[in-house]
Chain A
Amino acid sequence: AQSVTQPDIHITVSEGASLELRCNYSYGATPYLFWYVQSPGQGLQLLLKYFSGDTLVQGIKGFEAEFKRSQSSFNLRKPSVHWSDAAEYFCAVGDSGAGSYQLTFGKGTKLSVIP
């Protein structure tokens, strides 16, 4: 079965600093990978996704992620964090094996931003 690990439960960065959120996955075939963001009391918003092709993908709000098959990783990055980026971030892998493409999520990383 597939799984996703987000090693960092909580990260605090200063506004303007760079950010990297880690994600490792376990999946037998080519993974379909996603990053979602959730603000308090809100649903999940898609930041970016990887299906195939270029391993560096660009998303909304200035985020990018790099797929590294050799490391089973899909880390999320942003060069300069804004206070509005404070939220919880979820990495997910889509399961194509059963045909449902259900998502398996990591436990999430909560990002706090110091002004």
Chain B
Amino acid sequence: GAGVSQSPSNKVTEKGKDVELRCDPISGHTALYWYRQSLGQGLEFLIYFQGNSAPDKSGLPSDRFSAERTGGSVSTLTIQRTQQEDSAVYLCASRTRTSGGVDTQYFGPGTRLTVL
């Protein structure tokens, strides 16, 4: 079946502009995650959604970052007033909720963001 998809695959923007990154999870997966992968910091957790709610936003680096999820499906990560340090690959992952278990997170191909 279809995996996690993300768009755009690449985004180049100017410092100070806002960007939106999109994630389409695997159908039926209730949990959705955003991670950031950068050279200096490696892979970092940003935010977790269960359905349309975000009970864990602890990884968002500043209030310039926000995310939403609608219909228990598509999620959008928005970065306002982008800075050069926001340049990274943004990865989305989804998983099925299992009772008492830790199921596998399936990752999308990522969006490479470059802030000039």
Contacts and interface: CB of A to CB of B under 8 A. Distances in A.
Interface string B40-74: 00110100101000011001000000000000000
B48 A46 contact: no
Please classify how large the interface on chain B is, using the bins under 10, 10 to 19, 20 to 34, 35 or more.
Answer: 20 to 34
Nearest to A36: B107
B110 interface: yes
A90 B43 CA distance: 9
Given A44-B91, A100-B56, A101-B31, A49 B43 contact: no
B102 A94 contact: yes
Contact of A103 (B105, B108, B109): B105
A44 B108 CA distance: 7
Contact of B109 (A34, A42, A100): A42
Interface stretch (A16-24, A75-83, A104-112): A104-112
A43 interface: yes
A43 B109 contact: yes
B42 A107 contact: yes
A51 interface: yes
A72 interface: no
B107 A43 contact: yes
B104 A103 contact: no
B1 interface: no
Contacts of A94: 102
Given A34-B104, A101-B95, A105-B43, 16 more contacts: A32-B102, A36-B107, A41-B109, A43-B91, A43-B108, A45-B107, A51-B101, A98-B56, A100-B31, A100-B33, A100-B55, A101-B31, A101-B103, A103-B35, A103-B45, A104-B45
